[in-house]
Structure 1
Amino acid sequence: MGEAAVKRDTIAARRQAQAGDVRARRRQEIVDAAVRAIEELGCDAGLGAVADRAGLPRPHVYRHFTGKDDLDEEVARRAGRLLSAWIRPSLTARGTPPEVIRGVIGRVLGWAVDHPHLYRFRVRLGPARAVPELTDAAVTYLRAAGYDARPPDHVVASVIGMVDAGVLWWLDHRDDEGVESLNEWLAAQVWLVLADMLERIGRPLDPYAELAPALDNFS
Structure 2
Amino acid sequence: MRNVTTKRDTVAARRAAGDPHERTRRRQLIVEAAVGAIEEYGPDAGLAAVADRAGLPRPHVYRHFTGKDDLDRAVAGHVVRLLSAWIRPPVPAPGTPYEVVHGMIGRVLSWAAAHPNLYRFRARQGAAQVVPELTGAAGAGLRAAGYRADLPAYLVAVVVGMVDAGVIWWFDHQEEVGLSQLNDWLAAQVWRVLVEAVE
Taking structure 2 as the reference length, the TM-score comes to 0.82
Change (3 A) 1:181 1:55: same
Q: Give 1:104's aligned residue.
A: 104
Deviates more, 1:80-89 or 1:101-110: 80-89
Distance 1:154 1:54 in 2: 37
2:71 maps to a residue whose letter is: L
The amino acid that maps onto 2:66 is: T
Segments of 5+ residues of structure 2 without an aligned counterpart are: 1-14
Aligned partner of 1:93 in structure 2 is 93
Distance apart, 1:133 and its partner CA? 4.8
In 2, Cα distance between the equivalents of 1:129 and 1:118? 14
- Candidates 134, 144, 147, aligned match of 2:146: 144
Partner in structure 2 of residue 125 of structure 1: 125
Separation in 1, partners of 2:75, 2:189: 30
Matched residue of 2:118: which SS? Answer: helix
Aligned to 1:10: none
| One-letter amino acid matched to 2:130 | A
Post-superposition offset of 1:84: 1.1
How far is the alpha carbon of 1:19 from its aligned partner? 1.6
Distance in 1 separating the partners of 2:97 and 2:86: 20
Displaced runs of 4 or more, over 6 A: 15-18
**Which structure is larger by alpha-carbon Rg, 1 or 2?**
1
Structure 1: unaligned runs, 5 residues or longer: 1-14, 199-203, 206-219
* Distance across 2 between alignment mates of 1:107 and 1:192: 19
Residue 3 of structure 2 corresponds to which residue in structure 1?
none
Aligned to 1:178: 178
Deviates more, 1:83-92 or 1:30-39: 83-92
> 1:67-95 deviations in whole A, cap 9, x for unaligned?
11111111001101111111112673111
1:153 and 2:153 correspond? yes
Partner of 2:4 in structure 1? none
RMSD: 2.4
2:187 maps to what in 1?
187
Structure 2 letter corresponding to 1:111:
W
> Residue 154 of structure 1: CA displacement?
2.3
Assess, with a 3 A threshold, how the Cα gap between structure 1 residues 90 and 183 changes in structure 2: closer, same or farther.
farther
CA distance in 2, matches of 1:159, 1:152: 11
Give distance in 2, aligned partners of 1:105 and 1:90.
Answer: 15
Shift of the alpha carbon at 1:165? 0.8
CA deviation after TM superposition for structure 1 residue 156, in Å: 1.8
Q: 1:42 is aligned with what amino acid? A: G
Residues 90, 104 of structure 1: 8 Å contact kept: no
Structure number with greater CO (CA < 8 Å, separation at least 6) is 1
Tell me, in whole angstroms, the C-alpha distance in 2 between the residues paired with 1:90 and 1:180: 21
Shift of 1:18: 7.7
Mapping of residues 22-101 of structure 1, within 5 Å: 22-89=22-89, 92-101=92-101
Tell me: CA distance 1:111–1:23, structure 2 relative to 1, closer, same or farther (3 Å): same
Q: Is the Cα contact below 8 Å between 2:135 and 2:153 reproduced in 1? A: no
Asked if 1 retains the 8 angstrom alpha-carbon contact of 2:80 and 2:122, the reply is: yes
Q: Which amino acid aligns with 1:144?
A: G
**Aligned-residue offset at 1:139:** 4.3
After superposition, what is the alpha-carbon deviation per residue over 1:157-187, rounded to whole angstroms, capped at 9, x for unaligned? 1111101111111012213331000000000
In 2, are the aligned partners of 1:38 and 1:45 still within 8 Å (CA)? Answer: yes
**In percent, how many aligned pairs have the same letter?**
63
